[in-house]
Amino acid sequence: MLSYQHAYHAGNFADVHKHLIMFIVLRSLLRKESPITYIDTHAGRGFYSLSEPESQKLKEYEKGVLPLWRERAALIGNERSDEGLLGEWLGELSRAQSANARQLTHYPGSPWWLAQALRHEDKLHLFELHPGEQRYLEAQPLPPNVRRHPEDGLSGLRRMLPVATPRLCVLIDPSYERKQDYTEVAETLAFLSRKARHAVVMVWYPLLPTGKHRLLLDEVKQAGLRKLWCSELRLHTPGQEHGMYGSGLLLLNPPWGLDRQIENTMQRVVACLGGEAHHKGYWWVKE
Ligand code: SAM
């Protein structure tokens, strides 16, 4: 049974971490002309109103996107070094707001961020299994080269390989409601790297006191995968609270130089989030 609904968490620090890195990855991929297929295996609704009861219940965006949004005047248009990337991302976020862009009223999900990068010759496939979430996703105004699939994302991804375009970029962002989700993601990643050796893949994982994400990281290492870089954003030190204390993103085949760009950008994010926020980037497996 699917119980997770992303609307309760939209715009939290994990969303910022994931979507900001995704934005940096896409920006780098768009430097080349050859067409790209994007696959989002767990798409969610696509777009969230922060005034809805779900968002208002936990108000997680207040410790995620909101502190960055408040700094946007200083960050947008600042082209100095990699800080400019955070400013560019906030500029995109402004475009997602309703008429009065000075107020943060909405937070876009991964389908929206991916659709922003879409060129005429690219394709975007969105998988979502929850019937309620599918209905919202169906209602999103997305370009004609986007296809929505109401089915399981990991088996859908396997079925689509190899893709017809020269390049492939995948986001795997499950809710990890079941322990086996970690190993299923690792197996899918191993399969994917055999079928599409140069695919750029982003896998999100939660940092929990139980350390379950090690199942995923250990299995991809054992499977012999190479060029795996991890970015981990912690909101506080583990053990102080129950639940998720940090957000992880595993990058397979990150474009050259991206590790440094992400490091520099995340240092700025950490400064905005304040408190005990901390970022660590590291090669899990190098060449
Ligand atoms: N990627 C989204 C974003 O960044 O805006 C958030 C996705 S949310 C963490 C996970 C989503 O996966 C939920 O909407 C859930 O309904 C959906 N889901 C759960 N199991 C799934 C499956 N087997 N295949 C596809 N989607 C699934």
234-52-49 Cα angle (round to 5): 70
Which ligand 1 atom lies nearest to the CA of residue 46? 5
Strand ranges across the sheet with 228-234: 146-149, 123-127, 36-40, 167-172, 200-207, 246-252, 228-234, 278-285
Q: Distance between alpha carbon 144 and the CA centroid of its chain, in Å?
A: 22
CA 40 to ligand 1 center in whole angstroms: 9
**Rounded to an integer, what distance in angstroms lies between the CA atom of residue 82 and that of residue 175?**
30
State pLDDT tens for residues 168-182: 999 999 999 998 999
Check if the beta carbon of residue 110 is closer than 8 Å to that of residue 25.
Answer: no
Name residues contacting ligand 1 (CB within 6 A): 2, 4, 6, 18, 42-44, 109-110, 127-130, 133, 152-153, 173-175
CA 42 to ligand 1 center in whole angstroms: 3
Which helix (H) or strand (E) segment is 49 a member of? strand 47-49
Pocket test for ligand 1, best of 1, 3, 5, 6 (most atoms within 8 A of CB): 6
Length, in residues, of the chain: 287
Which of the four pLDDT bands, split at 50, 70 and 90, describes residue 82? low
pLDDT value at residue 78: 65
pLDDT value at residue 98: 78
**Rounded to an integer, what distance in angstroms lies between the CA atom of residue 275 and that of residue 143?**
40
pLDDT value at residue 99: 72
| Amino acid identity at 29 | L
Check if the beta carbon of residue 191 is closer than 8 Å to that of residue 158.
Answer: yes
Residue nearest to atom 6 of ligand 1 (CA): 44
Q: Between 175 and 240, where is the model more confident?
A: 175
Select from 25, 5, 6 the least CA-distant residue to 262.
25
Check if the beta carbon of residue 20 is closer than 8 Å to that of residue 268.
Answer: no
pLDDT value at residue 3: 84
What is the mean predicted confidence (pLDDT) over 125-129?
Answer: 97
Reported pTM? 0.96
What is the mean predicted confidence (pLDDT) over 108-112?
Answer: 98
CA 43 to ligand 1 center in whole angstroms: 5
Pocket test for ligand 1, best of 116, 175, 185 (most atoms within 8 A of CB): 175
pLDDT value at residue 2: 75
State pLDDT tens for residues 14-57: 999 999 999 999 999 999 999 999 999 999 999 999 999 999 99
Q: Between 248 and 241, where is the model more confident?
A: 248
Check whether 109 has a pLDDT greater than 90.
Answer: yes
What is the mean predicted confidence (pLDDT) over 259-268?
Answer: 95
What is the mean predicted confidence (pLDDT) over 72-88?
Answer: 78
Which ligand 1 atom lies nearest to the CA of residue 130? 16
Check whether 240 has a pLDDT greater than 60.
Answer: no
Q: Between 6 and 83, where is the model more confident?
A: 6
CA 132 to ligand 1 center in whole angstroms: 11
Q: Distance between alpha carbon 279 and the CA centroid of its chain, in Å?
A: 16
Residue 112 to residues 79, 93, 116: CA-CA distances in angstroms? Answer: 24, 10, 6
Task: Give 171: exposed, middle or buried? Use CB within 10 Å, 0-12, 13-18, 19+.
Answer: buried
pLDDT value at residue 203: 98
